[in-house]
Amino acid sequence: MPCRVCQSETIVKGLLHRCSKKTCDAVYWDKFAVKRLVKENKETSKEASPKWLTALLLEAKVPGFVRGKYYVYTLKLRKNLPKNTSAKRQTKMPNSGNGRFYVGMTGLHPYERYLNHIRGYKASWAAKKMAITMTGFEGPMTREEAEAREPARAQELRKEGYDVHSN
Ligand SMILES: [Zn+2]
């Protein structure tokens, strides 16, 4: 499976695909495999770190939680809304046609946060349903820095003509 940003080869660790190109920071989780695991582990779906999730993170060599370190991350979303999207939501999510992004901040490693979006744990609707790939992240930084950087990053992308979602 090629990188979803630059089409280069990806390096696969467990269910995490990372772009092999030095100048590209894109990564993505094998969403179907993650969803299958979520189904098989329904009883722990509301837990912050169930065993199966910890195993996935270890296998993918995602760095563990470090208190006080925050990140701002960017997810590329599908352009088109899922077919069953409510009319109300459609009006809240206009499509300029240039592409969509989700910008968020987190105290977890961004790859772990991305995985939580996919499994539906504290996930925004847009990120859960429409994330294609994480294009990159900034940090670690302090919480205050991340709180300032998150809206600034969203604004940068809007200026470039993209539709940007957060929360
Ligand atoms: Zn790439």
- Count up the domains in the chain and report the number: 1
CA–centroid distance, residue 39 to ligand 1 (Å) = 30
Average pLDDT, the chain: 94
State in Å: Cα 75 to ligand 1 middle.
13
Q: Global pTM?
A: 0.94
- Determine the pLDDT at residue 139: 98
Mean pLDDT, residues 100-123 taken together = 95
The reply to whether 96 falls in a domain is: yes
pLDDT digits (tens, 9 = 90+) for 58-89: 999 999 999 999 999 999 999 888 888 999 98
Distance 136 CA to ligand 1 centre (A): 10
pLDDT tens, residue by residue, 12-64: 999 999 999 999 999 999 999 999 999 999 999 889 999 999 999 999 999 99
Residue 127 structural domain:
34-165
DSSP 22-47: TT---EEE-HHHHHHHHHHTGGGTTS
**CB atoms near residue 150 (< 10 Å):** 20
Q: What band does 92 get if pLDDT is binned at 50, 70 and 90?
A: confident
**127 inside domain:** yes
Say how many Å lie between the CA of residue 24 and the centre of ligand 1: 5
The strand pairing partners of 31, in sequence order, are none
- Measured in angstroms, how far is the CA atom of residue 1 from the centroid of ligand 1? 11
Strand order in the sheet with 70-77: 10-13, 16-19, 27-29, 131-141, 70-77, 100-106, 163-165
Is residue 145 one of the residues assigned to a domain?
A: yes
Query: In degrees rounded to 5, what are phi and psi of residue 113?
Result: -60, -40
